[in-house]
Amino acid sequence: MSLANAPRPLNKLLIANRGEIACRVIRTARRLGLASVAVHSDADALARHVREADEAIRIGPAATRDSYLNVAAVIEAARQSGADAIHPGYGFLAENADFVAACEMAGIVFVGPPASAIAAMGDKSAAKARMDTAGVPLVPGYHGDDQTDEHLQAEAERIGYPVLLKASAGGGGKGMRVVERGAGFQAALDGCRRESQAAFNDDRMLIEKYLTQPRHVEVQVFCDSHGNGVYLFERDCSVQRRHQKVLEEAPAPDMSEALRREMGEAAVRAAQEIDYVGAGTVEFLLDADGSFYFMEMNTRLQVEHPVTEMITGEDLVEWQLRVAAGLALPKSQNELTISGHAFEARLYAEDPEQDFLPATGTLSRFALDFTGAGLDPDQVRLDSGVEAGDAVSMHYDPMLAKLITHGDDRDQALTTLNRALAALDVSGVVTNRAFLQRLASHPAFAGAELNTRFIEHHEQALF
């Protein structure tokens, strides 16, 4: 069905983002017959997303706060172009409740959840309190209002060391510190507060039991505006560096059907508790004994959504647009099944030899020769924000592309990932490709010996 005849008709979509996600959203918009509008900063005037959209509008200078984070400029671009909806991608304005309200005021459809759902999950402490009420299991911890040093330390002692201090307002791994014992608590608290204040202008803390070797397993959920909610299974994102994801896969290895259902249903419950609409991800920590605990909910499309698309055969951006247009979810829970296995590797312009310092330059080469490398286009996907000849500046996130592979089973998908990584022809800018290759070919990774300290544990082989 055409979105032009939907309850909330959509004809033209503005993408308030850049890089690979903007290009990826444009692709689906085009397939669905929507015109696409790119926005760009001065630094991105020649960027790939600008080249690929039907129209492009400048929204400001290079600095993100003056361009991609500039609510007024983005809304004005939508008005000017006559776009009836805005897709925020991830990052930038995707989880900004004020931006959602501004879209509403301007009569523009925001492709994402209502402002109230974003606000409910925006603060980790408030979100945990809410989830507790909904019966979603939490990591043992403290997320209350008494923020005095004495009280927080008493709570840490009650929880039992090691504990993890987390900024309530945190994200992106910032404002987080492990405390091994009471003697180190005060210094860690001071440090965390400083970091959180600087990054989020807020220094409230929560405390969690620090699980020593958990897995990060997250559930993709989807809800429509008619009260339907489903889960599109889970992703394992345990391979992280400094709490940031590097390699992801779906489904999570070694999950029983019972646990998959239990986590899926808990995730849908979490979403419905806050009257969620659209694509969302509920992140859990999974302990070795099969216990799982709610960490947070991301109220947007995730970077790693393609692995879910590969195993379900669904286009999540299409689902987002349909839901935004007021249509019902295209499938019910029992119509969704898992087929095979998928991986995603994040290719960054960064130098693993220099503590992952972001790299810049001009990409003299950037290509994946499918035929030459014997790669099946149905099983390999390169979601990229760049092409050969493009400049990589220091203004934005250094992620260049995502390499996604599918196979009948985990071994096959991994073999294909290794082949595709080797076949990727990239030069002119330093990347983490060799690091990804060492990770993806490591025997412990092949053996699915996953936990969030994987990189730390195998440091010698990886660096």
Contact set with ligand ADP (CB under 6 A): 139, 164, 170-173, 208-211, 214, 216, 240, 243, 283, 285, 295-296, 452
The residue among 209 and 235 lying less far from ligand ADP, judged by its C-beta, is 209
Question: Distance (Å, rounded) from C-alpha 114 to C-alpha 101?
Answer: 8
30 is catalytic: no
CB 35 within 8 A of CB 55: yes
The residue among 173 and 313 lying less far from ligand ADP, judged by its C-beta, is 173
Residue carrying the six token digits 């790693």: 304
- Least separation in angstroms between CB 241 and ligand ADP: 10
Q: What are phi and psi of 206, to 5 degrees?
A: -125, 160
**How distant, in Å, are the alpha carbons of 17, 80, 117, 233, 267 from that of 59?**
11, 11, 27, 37, 37
Q: Which residue, among 69, 94, 102, has the nearest Cα to 299 in the 3D structure?
A: 94
Q: For 308-332, b where at least 16 C-beta lie within 10 A, e where not — what string?
A: bbbbbebbbbbbbbbbbbbbebbbe
- Least separation in angstroms between CB 167 and ligand ADP: 8
The residue among 173 and 377 lying less far from ligand ADP, judged by its C-beta, is 173
The residue among 171 and 253 lying less far from ligand ADP, judged by its C-beta, is 171
Q: Per the structure block, which two tokens stand in for 311?
A: 């195993």
The residue among 222 and 454 lying less far from ligand ADP, judged by its C-beta, is 454
Q: Per the structure block, which two tokens stand in for 263?
A: 């986590």
Question: Distance (Å, rounded) from C-alpha 321 to C-alpha 249?
Answer: 25
- Least separation in angstroms between CB 279 and ligand ADP: 17
**How distant, in Å, are the alpha carbons of 55, 115, 222 from that of 300?**
24, 12, 10
- Catalytic, out of 18, 300, 381, 433: 300
CB atoms within 10 A of CB 348: 24
- Least separation in angstroms between CB 434 and ligand ADP: 24
The residue among 124 and 433 lying less far from ligand ADP, judged by its C-beta, is 124
**How distant, in Å, are the alpha carbons of 281, 305, 335 from that of 218?**
6, 11, 20
- Least separation in angstroms between CB 209 and ligand ADP: 6
CB 36 within 8 A of CB 28: no
Bridge partners, residue 60, by sequence: 41
- Least separation in angstroms between CB 233 and ligand ADP: 18
Catalytic residues: 300
